[in-house]
């Protein structure tokens, strides 16, 4: 045997071993899933058995699962639910008379008794269950004051406002208070009369203020520091999703004040995060009390989001109008821009909705918050900035216009509904392209991608109780039966079937391989289009388009992503992150004859897919329509008919009025904003081509069309064709002229010779400077969306007299003689567009 055939044989064997290994890996994954299911079941049974034994033998001393560091028997634990402690009378009196509450919620009394007994404690309780009471009430029943570490000033202010309302003296120390106030608070710390019962500080204050630490030392010695409460304690751990570096330094508190009991509070910590917090805070064997995360009054539902943004907002509007008329709610969106857009669209549909996002000024934010709390505003359309400290009891719905970045986040955000214990709805609109919008955002986060895919899995799930899927993320087991039909999957009769998608997956792999052979990268949307026969001609020639509907196509691609047949691939530029699809680890398995891949897909029972008059859960049945008979063959059937929504969208699109060319600037600007949003979406598809037309005005003040110039930039955009892949946009800008000779529109371009730098006043008038700035702002926004290479191109001027870089400060501009800013911008833009087209044609299929 010669050397080369030996190598070939070894290579063949290696390939086969690798393929076998992949298969084993697949089996391991399946077994692990099975193991998780069985473990869940086992835990439920053990818990039930334990309860049965407890009630049969009251004297038994089963060890408690609630204590983590410190092992405490169940009986010992239950002892703390009692009201025979020296402080009990005072506690009960304060609950009723001061806090005006009739009874404790689960675990509140236990936590209060434990902390009043001097124990270190971690209290894990879902949002809105009343963690604050567990340190506020002990604070008023103790001598001295309680130190509360809170991550946000807004949270402190909220609490202080509430405490003032019920006449509990409280103070705070943060950058927003005056020097005199701070001085008075510092003095109060060591005052034996304790002018406040609670002192709120940020972790940064503990870490940085020596004066505060020395006052606390004195208070400790005088036994005035009764308790330390660390709110949002998960922020200590870098495994927690809200890690704050200064929380890491809080260990000093327990080291300096070892006899003061510490109470850590959180709504989201897993056991590993708590272990980390224990170490960071230097607490020895704290007791961990965990209340169940199951919010039984919340109804969870997932709906398929219409790919057309306008239609998706329309869906949300009709949902709010039909189901939550005059009720209070939150619509969570992905970006600040979405918050503005969605709220204005809801307003147009007579819904009292206002945006809330981090970029709003503090006054506007607090006005929206206040008016919403007072029910003057019905709906807040918010980014995640509308988060901690939102404590409105009667929120009847939380709708996610875009999925959350993780199940933990979703739990927190949706958990703002139904804090009054009355039933409320949590609805997610699940859209294919949203996965990738969020993906580019979380790519740099520790396990961000993994968490996002878990959220996607939650949304694509058709058969498992939504709460039980959530429970896994909180180290809990919630019994499916305990859902009480409070999620769409438990409500719905079994309307899905397991479908063999192997052949479809093979087609996807084929497209990916073809693209790779042409050295091309596919964005998820390009992959969808290529598979549906809508991509570039070179693809259409070689690959037979699928007969699946768009939603089926997207569902299969998502499943392949979740199962590891496809994976994400990112390309970073200084301005943006591009997302592409790649073949995943398991893709080679599809080459093996015996390998199959299946997924659950919804079937409808012959009822019209457009019938939305049924119960809540049936309202989303319009997504995929199959013929069940064909399904029996084990392959995906043809869609029975075009889905109603598509028709409705079509008619909506047709009903869109074109913006008048002569329309007012405000209308155009509005349209521009809407188009800007669409553009962002199109950009996700990697297929925008921008064309800019610049009206040149000579220095006599008359524009090309003979009209007097406006000093405002005008934008007008229109789609050239609704069917073409590429969207052409026109941005018209009227710009003031430079101090140069007039140009002939359409005539030969003047010779480009540098006259001088703009530092010479003769070149640019003030108005021109302003307009150039506006123009540059507008263009740089567009440019940011263009591939990095375009910038490189611009930043390396080879010829003199060319705009050096659009993003550089104005003083670096070198303008050629006899050229208006308008012409300059046009020439620049033409080059950028050309470059961009090149980039798209060559890189993005």
Ligand X SMILES: Nc1ncnc2c1ncn2[C@@H]1O[C@H](COP(=O)(O)OP(=O)(O)OP(=O)(O)O)[C@@H](O)[C@H]1O
Residue ranges in contact with ligand X by CB under 6 A = 101, 104-105, 108, 125, 127-133, 267, 391, 393, 419
- For ligand X, the closer of residues 233 and 317 by Cβ is 233
Residue that has been written with the tokens 């963690």 in this structure:
131
- For ligand X, the closer of residues 166 and 656 by Cβ is 166
Closest listed residue to residue 697, CA positions, set 765, 752, 759: 765
Cβ at position 394, least distance to ligand X in Å: 10
> What Cα–Cα distance (Å) separates residue 532 from each residue in 105, 165, 536?
54, 62, 11
Cα separation, 694 vs 804, whole angstroms: 20
Closest listed residue to residue 636, CA positions, set 556, 699, 716: 556
Do you know the residue count of the chain?
A: 845
Q: Which residue of the chain is nearest ligand X when measured via CB?
A: 130
- For ligand X, the closer of residues 112 and 740 by Cβ is 112
Cβ at position 265, least distance to ligand X in Å: 7
Phi and psi, residue 696, nearest 5°: -95, 135
Cβ at position 101, least distance to ligand X in Å: 4
Phi and psi, residue 264, nearest 5°: -95, 135
Cβ at position 374, least distance to ligand X in Å: 15
* Residue 482 CA to its chain's centroid (Å): 28
- For ligand X, the closer of residues 104 and 410 by Cβ is 104
Cα separation, 843 vs 522, whole angstroms: 9
Cβ at position 412, least distance to ligand X in Å: 8
Residue that has been written with the tokens 């959220």 in this structure:
455
Cα separation, 496 vs 844, whole angstroms: 36
> What Cα–Cα distance (Å) separates residue 208 from each residue in 232, 247, 326?
20, 12, 47
Using the CB atoms, write b or e for 688-724: b if 16+ within 10 Å.
bbbebebbbbbbeeebbeeeebbeebbbbbeeeeeee
DSSP H/E element including 348: helix 336-348
Both tokens of 608, joined, read: 């019209």
Both tokens of 214, joined, read: 């020395």
Whether residue 312 contacts residue 437, with contact meaning beta carbons closer than 8 Å, is answered with no
SS3 label, residue 170: strand
Say if residue 213 is exposed, middle or buried (CB neighbours under 10 Å; 0-12, 13-18, 19+).
middle
Cβ at position 390, least distance to ligand X in Å: 7
Phi and psi, residue 358, nearest 5°: -65, -25
Cβ at position 346, least distance to ligand X in Å: 25
- For ligand X, the closer of residues 151 and 524 by Cβ is 151
Cα separation, 379 vs 330, whole angstroms: 5
**Among all residues, which ones are annotated catalytic?**
131
- For ligand X, the closer of residues 416 and 685 by Cβ is 416
Cβ at position 271, least distance to ligand X in Å: 19
- For ligand X, the closer of residues 132 and 820 by Cβ is 132
Cα separation, 177 vs 518, whole angstroms: 63
Cβ at position 247, least distance to ligand X in Å: 16
Whether residue 269 contacts residue 277, with contact meaning beta carbons closer than 8 Å, is answered with yes
Phi and psi, residue 379, nearest 5°: -125, 135
CA angle 750, 756, 759 (to 5 degrees): 135
Q: Where are the beta strands (DSSP E) in 67-201?
A: 121-124, 145-149, 170-173, 198-201
- For ligand X, the closer of residues 1 and 374 by Cβ is 374
Both tokens of 560, joined, read: 């392949």
Say if residue 612 is exposed, middle or buried (CB neighbours under 10 Å; 0-12, 13-18, 19+).
middle
Cβ at position 102, least distance to ligand X in Å: 7
Whether residue 137 contacts residue 94, with contact meaning beta carbons closer than 8 Å, is answered with yes
Cβ at position 141, least distance to ligand X in Å: 16
Phi-psi region of 183 (alpha: psi -120 to 50; beta: other; left: phi over 0): alpha
- For ligand X, the closer of residues 260 and 267 by Cβ is 267
Question: Per residue, what are the HEC states of 749-782?
Answer: CCCCCEEECCCCCCCCCHHHHHHHHHHHHHHHHH
């Amino acid at each position: 045997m010669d050397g080369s055939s030996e190598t070939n044989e070894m290579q063949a064997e290696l390939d086969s071993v690798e393929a076998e290994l992949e298969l084993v890996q697949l089996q391991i994954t399946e077994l692990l899933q099975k193991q998780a299911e069985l473990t869940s079941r086992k835990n439920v049974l053990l818990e039930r058995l334990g309860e049965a034994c407890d009630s049969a033998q009251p004297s038994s001393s089963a060890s408690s699962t609630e204590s983590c560091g410190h092992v405490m028997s169940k009986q010992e634990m239950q002892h703390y639910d009692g009201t025979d402690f020296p402080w009990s009378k005072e506690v009960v009196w304060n609950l009723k008379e001061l806090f005006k509450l009739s009874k404790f919620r689960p675990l509140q009394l236990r936590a209060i008794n434990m902390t009043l007994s001097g124990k270190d404690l971690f209290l894990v309780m879902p949002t809105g269950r009343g963690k604050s009471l567990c340190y506020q009430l002990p604070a008023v029943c103790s001598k001295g004051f309680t130190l509360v570490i809170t991550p946000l000033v807004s949270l402190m202010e909220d609490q202080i406002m509430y405490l003032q309302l019920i006449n509990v003296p409280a103070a705070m120390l943060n950058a927003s208070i005056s020097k005199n106030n701070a001085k008075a608070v510092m003095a109060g710390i060591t005052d034996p009369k304790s002018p406040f019962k609670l002192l709120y500080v940020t972790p940064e204050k503990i870490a940085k203020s020596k004066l505060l630490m020395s006052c606390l030392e004195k208070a400790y010695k005088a036994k005035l520091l009764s308790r330390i409460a660390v709110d949002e304690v998960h922020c200590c751990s870098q495994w927690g999703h809200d890690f704050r570096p200064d929380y890491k330094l809080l260990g000093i508190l327990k080291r300096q004040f070892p006899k003061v009991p510490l109470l850590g509070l959180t709504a989201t910590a897993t056991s590993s995060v708590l272990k980390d917090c224990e170490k960071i805070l230097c607490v020895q064997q704290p007791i961990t009390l965990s209340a169940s995360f199951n919010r039984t009054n919340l109804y969870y539902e997932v709906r398929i989001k219409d790919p057309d943004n306008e239609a998706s907002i329309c869906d949300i509007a009709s949902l709010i109008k039909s189901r939550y008329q005059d009720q209070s709610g939150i619509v969570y969106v992905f970006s600040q821009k979405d918050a503005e857009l969605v709220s204005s669209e809801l307003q147009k549909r007579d819904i009292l909705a206002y945006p809330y996002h981090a970029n709003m000024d503090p006054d506007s934010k607090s006005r929206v918050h206040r008016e919403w709390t007072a029910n003057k505003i019905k709906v807040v359309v918010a980014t995640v900035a509308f988060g901690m400290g939102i404590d409105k009891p009667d929120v009847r719905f939380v709708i996610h216009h875009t999925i959350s970045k993780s199940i933990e986040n979703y739990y927190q955000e949706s958990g703002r509904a139904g804090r009054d214990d009355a039933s409320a709805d949590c609805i997610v609109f699940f859209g294919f392209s949203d996965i990738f919008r969020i993906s580019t955002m979380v790519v740099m986060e520790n396990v961000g991608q993994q968490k996002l895919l878990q959220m996607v899995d939650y949304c694509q799930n058709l058969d498992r109780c939504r709460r039980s899927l959530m429970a896994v993320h909180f180290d809990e087991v919630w019994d499916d039966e305990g859902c009480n039909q409070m999620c769409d999957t438990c409500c719905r009769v079994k309307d899905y079937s397991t479908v063999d998608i192997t052949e479809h997956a093979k087609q996807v792999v084929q497209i990916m391989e073809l693209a790779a052979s042409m050295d091309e990268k596919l964005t998820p949307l390009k992959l969808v289009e290529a598979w549906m026969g809508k991509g570039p001609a070179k693809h259409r020639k070689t690959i037979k388009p699928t007969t699946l509907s768009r939603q089926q196509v997207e569902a299969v691609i998502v499943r392949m992503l979740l199962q590891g047949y496809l994976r994400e691939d990112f390309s970073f530029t200084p301005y943006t992150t591009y997302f592409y699809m790649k073949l995943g680890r398991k893709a080679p398995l599809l080459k093996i004859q015996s390998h199959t891949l299946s997924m659950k897909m919804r079937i409808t029972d012959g009822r019209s897919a457009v019938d939305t008059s049924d119960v809540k859960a049936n309202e989303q049945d319009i997504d995929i329509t199959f013929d069940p008979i064909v399904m029996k063959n084990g392959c995906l059937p043809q869609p029975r008919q075009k889905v109603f929504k598509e028709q409705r969208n079509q008619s909506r699109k047709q009903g869109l009025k074109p913006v008048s060319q002569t329309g007012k600037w405000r209308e155009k600007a509005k349209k521009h904003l809407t188009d800007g949003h669409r553009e962002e979406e199109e950009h996700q598809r990697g297929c925008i081509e921008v064309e800019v037309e610049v009206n040149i005005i000579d220095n006599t003040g008359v524009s090309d069309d003979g009209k007097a110039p406006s000093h405002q930039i005008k934008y007008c955009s229109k789609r050239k064709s609704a069917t073409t892949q590429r969207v052409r946009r026109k941005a018209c800008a009227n710009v003031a002229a430079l101090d140069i000779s007039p140009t002939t529109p359409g005539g030969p371009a003047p010779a480009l010779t540098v006259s001088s730098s703009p530092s010479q006043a003769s070149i640019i008038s003030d108005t021109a400077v302003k307009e150039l700035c506006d123009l540059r702002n507008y263009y740089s926004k567009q440019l940011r969306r263009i591939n990095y290479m375009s910038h490189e191109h611009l930043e390396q001027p080879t010829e003199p007299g060319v705009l050096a870089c659009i993003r550089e400060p104005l003083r670096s501009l070198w303008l050629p003689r006899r050229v208006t800013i308008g012409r300059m911008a046009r020439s620049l833009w033409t080059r950028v567009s050309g470059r961009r087209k090149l980039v798209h044609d060559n890189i993005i299929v």
